[in-house]
């Protein structure tokens, strides 16, 4: 691949910035929440369930708002401002987690921060056609995830050092964790400034009045278009099923690890290793995409996740969690990057925010379903493994539907 252009690099930098939040959601934030809830007398199973419900609530909100906001953002001059609003909600919400509040208020702040994070990704993903050419989408999208994984290690390592040395430095656990939240919020905003300065919306729908009303009208037309473009509709359904497992694992891996007895230190270090290993793996899949169709690579990632979730059912040792962390690293970034660029390639560019709003509905709707089912199953059976047992089924369904979507592609029917 040719060297990234200046604008492509600045687009990639947003992945570096927001991945700091993703890393904390997978590690420090749920650990801090579960410890806070435990101190308040909440059982381990109930705190995992409450965490699952919080993740479900914010994903449901973004899924409902996604197409509406996407339609507005497709209007000339609106994509960057709406993106900026959600960026600030996410980054400032992350910093606000440092406030000395109880477990319930902490969950509410977390929901707001994650709404900002998830909402910003709708518009960030839809910027991809604006910043690069069709033939470079797989590579640029992969670089975003790859550098996001590696770049997030910088603020996370500093955060980890603060937390692990909290007693010797005199910060204490709360002071060190609060400092980490503020540090990562600043990192997120700082990494985004170059994109905010130089991004220009290239593809758009030109409407200068009655923007909200016409946005709702466009949503109706887009829904009809998606129904007609059966390969897009079927891909979204397949995406719903397989990304369910991916997002659920990201959201609940740490809580699940604690429930089966893995120590906080092992959890944090294993997930740091995930970020480091994911960097070359995403770029490796990016290279493969030059010779192998991306939908086939997505299928390989799905099958990899089937094996991961089946192995997780018997997990009860630290080394097994480390092994799974490496396995997840191999496939996690690749399946997200290739799905994003594949979808960007098959949709109308001038309506990319709107289409990515629907993409987000299927992605976040899946995350809502996955975390909700895990939460309910955990409380019913009083074990997290009951929820994990549902995930292989979702991955297998996604694989079957992806193959069906591929056969529906216009070039395969000509």
Is a pLDDT exceeding 50 seen at residue 248?
Answer: yes
**Cα–Cα distance list, 22 to 13, 91, 126, 378 (Å):** 14, 12, 19, 23
Task: Check the CA dihedral 60-142-74-232 and report its sign.
Answer: negative
Per-residue model confidence as pLDDT tens digits over 25-69: 877 898 889 888 888 888 877 887 888 788 778 877 877 777 777
Q: Which residues pair with 268 in a beta bridge?
A: none
Residue 217 lies in a domain: yes
Q: Is residue 83 part of a domain?
A: yes
Condensed to tens digits (0 to 9), the pLDDT of residues 386-401 reads: 777 878 888 999 999 9
How far is it, in rounded angstroms, from Cα 153 to Cα 273? 9
Please answer whether residues 362 and 128 qualify as being in contact, where contact means their C-beta atoms are separated by less than 8 angstroms: no
Tell me the Cα Rg of the chain.
Answer: 20
pLDDT of amino acid 380: 78
- What confidence category does residue 346 fall into, taking pLDDT thresholds of 50, 70 and 90? confident
Backbone angles phi, psi at 205, to 5 degrees: -105, 120
pLDDT band of residue 217 (cuts 50, 70, 90) is low
- Tell whether the model's pLDDT for residue 256 goes beyond 80: no
> What pLDDT does residue 214 have?
57
CATH number at residue 19: 1.20.1250.20
CB-CB contact of 184 with 155 (8 Å): yes
- CA dist 114 and 106 (Å) reads 12
How many C-beta atoms lie closer than 10 Å to residue 167's C-beta? 10
For 189-209, the pLDDT digits (tens) are 999 999 999 998 887 765 555
Contact 368, 56 (CB under 8 A): yes
Q: What gap in Å lies between CA 370 and CA 390, rounded to an integer?
A: 8
Assess if residue 191 is contained within a domain.
yes
Residues 203, 73 contacting (CB under 8 angstroms) = no
> Is 275 or 168 the better-scoring residue by pLDDT?
168
Residue 105 within a domain: yes
Look at residue 205 and tell me if it is in a domain: yes
Q: Is residue 366 part of a domain?
A: yes
Range of the domain at 297: 6-413
Q: Report pLDDT digits (tens) over 60-113.
A: 787 777 777 777 777 777 789 989 999 999 999 999 999 988 899 999 999 999
State both tokens at 164: 């692990």
C-alpha to C-alpha distances, 381 to 37, 50, 298, 303, 384, nearest whole angstrom: 20, 15, 33, 27, 8
What's the mean per-residue pLDDT of the chain? 83
414 pLDDT tier (thresholds 50, 70, 90): very low
How far, rounded to the nearest angstrom, does the alpha carbon of residue 138 sit from its chain's CA centroid?
A: 17
Count up the domains in the chain and report the number: 1
In a domain, residue 200? The reply is yes
Whole-angstrom Cα distance, residue 372 to residue 189? 31
Among 61-65, 287-291, 369-373, top mean pLDDT goes to 287-291
Distance (Å) of CA 295 to CA 71, 76, 330, 342:
27, 32, 17, 8
pLDDT tens for 139-178 read 898 888 889 888 888 998 899 899 889 888 888 888 999 9
Label residue 218 left, alpha or beta by phi (over 0 means left) and psi (-120 to 50 means alpha).
alpha
Decide if 1 is inside a domain. no
């Amino acid at each position: 691949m040719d060297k990234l252009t200046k604008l492509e690099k600045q687009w990639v930098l947003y992945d570096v910035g927001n991945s700091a939040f993703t890393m904390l959601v997978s590690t420090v934030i749920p650990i801090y929440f579960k410890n806070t809830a435990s101190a308040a007398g909440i059982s381990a199973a109930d705190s995992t369930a409450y965490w699952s419900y919080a993740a479900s609530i914010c994903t449901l909100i973004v899924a409902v708002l996604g197409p509406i906001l996407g339609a507005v953002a497709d209007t000339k001059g609106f994509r960057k401002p709406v993106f900026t609003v959600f960026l600030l909600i996410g980054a400032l919400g992350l910093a606000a987690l440092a406030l000395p509040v109880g477990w319930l208020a902490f969950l509410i702040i977390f929901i707001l921060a994650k709404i900002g994070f998830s909402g910003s990704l709708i518009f960030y993903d839809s910027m991809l056609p604006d910043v690069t050419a069709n033939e470079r989408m797989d590579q640029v999208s992969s670089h975003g995830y790859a550098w996001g994984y590696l770049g997030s290690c910088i603020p996370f390592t500093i955060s980890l050092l603060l937390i692990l040395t909290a007693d010797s430095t005199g910060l204490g656990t709360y002071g060190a964790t609060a400092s980490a939240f503020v540090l990562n919020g600043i990192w997120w905003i700082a990494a985004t400034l170059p994109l905010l300065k130089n991004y220009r919306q290239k593809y758009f729908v030109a409407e200068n009045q009655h923007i909200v009303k016409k946005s709702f009208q466009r949503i109706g037309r887009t829904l009809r278009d998606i129904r007609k473009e059966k390969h897009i509709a079927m891909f979204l359904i397949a995406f719903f099923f397989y990304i369910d497992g991916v997002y659920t694992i990201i959201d609940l891996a740490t809580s699940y690890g604690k429930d089966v007895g893995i120590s906080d230190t092992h959890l944090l270090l294993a997930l740091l290793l995930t970020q480091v290993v994911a960097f070359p793996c995403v770029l490796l899949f990016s290279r493969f995409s030059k010779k192998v169709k991306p939908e086939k690579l997505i299928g390989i990632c799905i099958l990899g996740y089937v094996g991961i979730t089946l192995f997780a059912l018997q997990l009860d040792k630290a080394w097994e969690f480390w092994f799974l962390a490496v396995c997840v690293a191999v496939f996690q970034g690749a399946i997200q990057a290739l799905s994003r660029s594949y979808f960007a390639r098959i949709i109308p560019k001038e309506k990319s925010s709107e289409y990515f709003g629907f993409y987000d509905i299927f992605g976040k709707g899946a995350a809502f379903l996955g975390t909700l089912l895990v939460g309910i199953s955990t409380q019913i059976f009083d074990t997290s493994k009951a929820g994990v047992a549902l995930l292989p089924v979702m991955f297998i369904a996604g694989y079957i539907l992806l193959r069906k979507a591929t056969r529906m592609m216009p070039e395969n029917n000509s």
